[in-house]
Chain A
């Protein structure tokens, strides 16, 4: 899509923030100087340990709280100023679902739909039914929401986010509380939505979840953004580790060490380490074979986002104080 006149607006960015900062009333600095840019059509993984400021950022993007510094644009318009124009095109799941326990699942959707002044009341019932079907809740539609399991509540929350055709979905920890089957379903739903051209902004503290579904990612740490880019760039940034599977780990370790491989770790039949720069891996393999090591598997393991995170922060993935 060409947008020749959008020069003043970041090209194709569905979400963009400039120096976005939030200090809560208690004095807690939750987000500091955030410059985020979420490209249209991406599945954007917003990653960070507990307490790193993900939910706070999402609250600011959705106009629930006022930033104490900087600015945020969603769908090209300033937030929270343009909330009434922007939010009908944004579906959201924030800090888990919230439902009226005394209403049925379907009635919950009807209520949330009624809250949207751009929603045509004549097609309200049809919208609710379609959303219920989409998240696989049709059978439980007439059940009181207080009798829903956590996973069912999560699905109903997603259904509310999908009541209207959206341009952007903001999902704060969407797989929280789901069983592995439920997680898979959410992931495939996210992929489906992305195929329809919807931008999905998804926060998580599960690194492998981001790796599995996201095209882009940003990493938060103690309220600051440490990096953002495509998932592929990010994993490429951290060098992979060499892994050798062999019944002779002792001999293999000796040979690899001689060849300059650092940080060698032996785990049963697997020996892994950081390969030296500018070294042809095939030569390492040849050296092992020459020394009589029986090599069953030999390869470079791609760095995970976790490796990236640790290499960026120098710390584990722990809660910030």
Chain B
């Protein structure tokens, strides 16, 4: 007994031997997912996203029910709209193209912006930190929950579009943008690949939102700042005089997902998009980690 005491010296007493387990520490990630997806706000955002393809599908159905075509041809409305009547699967591409510029990233901005700032504002952040969640671990848990939301949000749009499309329009062989036809099964696979690509396109913004979220104690302020930034970037991206900086805007390659509908697939912009998202994630992820790790938590 006394020997044991001598051995441990001035170190922790016996009762301090309650070790952290790697598997146990995953509990925070599960808890984070539960907390994110059980909120009414999250469900409301997903409901809005689900409504978009349903409404678009119904509108197209009504407009074309007298045998006419969609007015304006290829140029009017979001991409692929004119193909929807021929194949319901195209509603997936239409809905993603319609929600990607604003609706989808806006919901991501809300969830990411609120992630840390919301906890700080409510005061729960200090209790998580003394639990002790660990600042890096908490940030990682928040990041994974935001990523899960990106994927869920995109999947919500895609699944509701697919269901609406299959219900209202014929399905069958899919004619790709390059003119080749592929089976419906392969078309479905490509739709899944597109959904994953769209979700990954949102990761840069998600990380940026998380970074902003670590800077303030007001969830609303962080959400507003993130969404505001998104709008600003979209506007900058639409100004031709600024095309020098366009390749560095996280929105620049967003619509490149359509290249997955070519045979052979046109990888150039797809890879540039992923690279750009990875760059934003690395830069703002490190900034969030460095800033949050050293920050005074007084709220």
Binding site for B on A (CB under 8 A): 2-9, 24-25, 59, 62-66, 75-77, 83-85, 87-90, 92, 94-96, 98-103, 110-121, 124, 157, 160, 164-165, 167
Contacts and interface: CB of A to CB of B under 8 A. Distances in A.
Interface stretch (B30-38, B159-167, B193-201, B281-289): B30-38
B130 interface: yes
B297 A65 contact: yes
Nearest to A82: B12
Contacts of B131: 87, 112-113, 115-116
A117 B130 contact: no
Given A100-B122, A117-B134, A59 B298 contact: yes
Contacts of A75: 12, 16
Contact of A90 (B10, B128, B130, B297): B130
A64 B124 contact: no
B28 interface: yes
A76 B134 contact: no
Given A4-B5, A77-B12, A94-B126, 11 more contacts: A6-B10, A7-B10, A59-B298, A64-B129, A76-B10, A88-B18, A89-B16, A112-B128, A114-B27, A115-B128, A164-B18
A66 B294 CA distance: 8
Contacts of B15: 89, 165, 167
Given A5-B9, A65-B296, A110-B31, A87 B24 contact: no
Interface centre among A25, A62, A101 (most CB of B within 10 A): A62
A87 B132 contact: yes
B215 to A, nearest CB: 13
22 contacts: A24-B298, A65-B296, A65-B298, A76-B12, A84-B134, A87-B132, A92-B127, A92-B130, A94-B130, A95-B126, A96-B123, A98-B126, A110-B31, A111-B31, A114-B28, A114-B31, A115-B27, A115-B138, A116-B132, A117-B20, A118-B19, A118-B21
A160 B128 CA distance: 11
B169 to A, nearest CB: 39
Contacts of B128: 112, 115
Given A89-B16, A90-B130, A95 B123 contact: yes
Contacts of B16: 75, 85, 89, 167
4 closest cross-chain pairs (CB), A and B = A98-B123, A115-B131, A117-B25, A87-B132
Contact of B24 (A102, A121, A160): A121
A96 to B, nearest CB: 8
B248 to A, nearest CB: 32
B90 to A, nearest CB: 38
Contact of B27 (A25, A89, A121): A121
B272 interface: no
Nearest to A163: B131
B130 A102 contact: no
B6 interface: yes
A94 B137 CA distance: 22
B27 A119 contact: yes
B127 A160 contact: yes
Contacts of B130: 62-64, 87, 90, 92, 94
Contact of B20 (A4, A64, A118): A118
Contacts of A77: 12
A196 to B, nearest CB: 12
A100 B12 contact: no
B52 interface: no
Given A5-B9, A83-B132, A84-B132, A118 B18 contact: yes
Contacts of A96: 123
A98 B294 contact: no
Nearest to A90: B130
Contacts of A4: 5-6
A66 B296 contact: yes
B177 to A, nearest CB: 45
Contacts of B298: 24, 59, 64-65
A160 B297 CA distance: 19
Contacts of B294: 66
